[in-house]
Amino acid sequence: AHIGVDAESGLVHSVTTTAANVADIVETAALLHGDEETVFADAGYTGVAKREEMNDVKVDWQIAAKRGTIKKVNEKRPLRAILDELEHAKASIRAKVEHPFHVIKNLFRHRKTRYKGLPKNTAHVFMLFG
């Protein structure tokens, strides 16, 4: 399941489902509703602004840095402290996106797929997020 969440309210505004081998970045266009000014996403969306389907989308992309990128910067340099603070700020906003997954997995106990076939699982995910 891939979801688009409003950062202010925490409400899910779009849901898509794909097979497990489909990358997150492929579903980005389906998750945007068009009124976004800033998009916060995890490191799985690195390079999304360069994709062809995103040429017309004018948003400020705030993509989390990959861990290896930050670890390359020496801990003693002042830049490392700034990068850590920036990534912490991004993560605190992205936490609102992860909260609906917490509800689905922990409160509704939907931790693994129950049905065979993407259409049935899609219907179930739409019902759970609804």
Q: Name the pTM for this structure.
A: 0.78
Whether 14 shows a pLDDT value over 90: the answer reads: yes
pLDDT tens figures, 24-45? 899 999 999 888 899 999 888 9
pLDDT given at position 111: 78
> CA 42 to CA 61: how far, in whole Å?
11
| Cβ pair 83, 70 in contact under 8 A | yes
pLDDT given at position 88: 93
pLDDT given at position 96: 80
Do the bridges between strand 60-63 and strand 38-41 make them parallel or antiparallel, or are there none, so unpaired? parallel
| Cβ pair 5, 100 in contact under 8 A | yes
Whether 98 shows a pLDDT value over 90: the answer reads: no
> CA 106 to CA 100: how far, in whole Å?
10
pLDDT given at position 94: 87
Mean pLDDT of 100-129: 85
Domain ranges of the chain: 2-129
